Amino acid sequence: MRKEDIRPILELQEIDNEIERIKRRLKKIEEESAQIEEELRSLKGELEELRNEEESLKRKRKELRERIEEEEELLRRTEDKMSMVRKDIEYKTLLKEKSKHEDNILKLSYELDEIEEKIEGLTKKIEERAPRIEKKIKELEEELRDLFDEKKLAEEKLKNLLEERNVKEKGVDESLLRFYEEAKKHYDSYVVVPIEEGVCTGCGMKVPDVLFSKMLREDSIERCPNCGRYIYYRL
């Protein structure tokens, strides 16, 4: 292969490698974004769960207070009736009713104390954790915006590179282009690589002295005996 034939392929190769690099980065951005979104959902869910639990306890507290007020009102009415009755049997009935209301008030008060204690502990927990969670959410949302911006720039660059590749491709000899496209299937990235200090930069193996001498003498493009890539010394 002549050296002048290799320049269009090298240009195409550089474009293709940059295209692949951007595609890999875009895939990585998608993975990182999905991970951040999952973490955001988890943090927001944790915060919402804490606040929902707090609201639930506060509703329970309100209900208990209302029930205690109702029982206290019933107790007052019962006591009022007791002060007015004359018959002993009626007084005993009202006494039992009074005792029932007092027991209810006592039980509800115990429940209220427990709820108050839970609310106090949960409120303290929220005060300690919410600022940290909200700060982390803000940081993650900023990361997500940065990734979105990077994705937009990468997609635009990819679009431009694909257009540039189409133009470059038209300037490459058809048989040479077929060779290049076929060779790409066998190598990770570079199909045509330079020799540096007598070593193939594609596989890292030393090029035989005889072959290297021929390349210097004939100024030619050859195949690396080890990896099969096309190698050149200087353009």
Q: For residue range 185-224, list pLDDT tens digits in order.
A: 888 778 999 999 999 999 999 999 999 999 888 888 899 9
Phi/psi of residue 206, nearest 5 degrees: -70, 135
> How high is the pLDDT of residue 173?
84
Do 156 and 69 share a structural domain? yes
Do 168 and 191 share a structural domain? no
Number of domains in the chain: 2
From 134, 149, 172, the end of a domain falls on 172
> How high is the pLDDT of residue 122?
96
Q: For residue range 130-143, list pLDDT tens digits in order.
A: 999 999 999 999 99
Do 193 and 160 share a structural domain? no
Asked if residue 66 is part of any domain, the answer here is yes
Helix (H) or strand (E) holding 196: strand 192-196
pTM over 0.85: no
What percent of the chain has pLDDT above 70?
Answer: 98
> How high is the pLDDT of residue 216?
87
Do 151 and 43 share a structural domain? yes
Q: Is the pLDDT of residue 2 over 70?
A: no
Q: For residue range 45-65, list pLDDT tens digits in order.
A: 999 999 999 999 999 999 999
Q: Is the pLDDT of residue 180 over 90?
A: no
Residues forming a β-bridge with 223:
230
Asked if residue 2 is part of any domain, the answer here is no
Asked if residue 74 is part of any domain, the answer here is yes
C-alpha 220/C-alpha 233 separation (Å) is 8
What is the domain range of residue 35? 16-172
Asked if residue 25 is part of any domain, the answer here is yes
Burial of 144 (C-beta count, 10 Å sphere; 0-12/13-18/19+): middle
Asked if residue 6 is part of any domain, the answer here is no
Query: Strands 222-223 and 199-200: what pairing?
Result: unpaired
- What CATH number is associated with residue 66? 1.10.287.1490
Do 131 and 222 share a structural domain? no
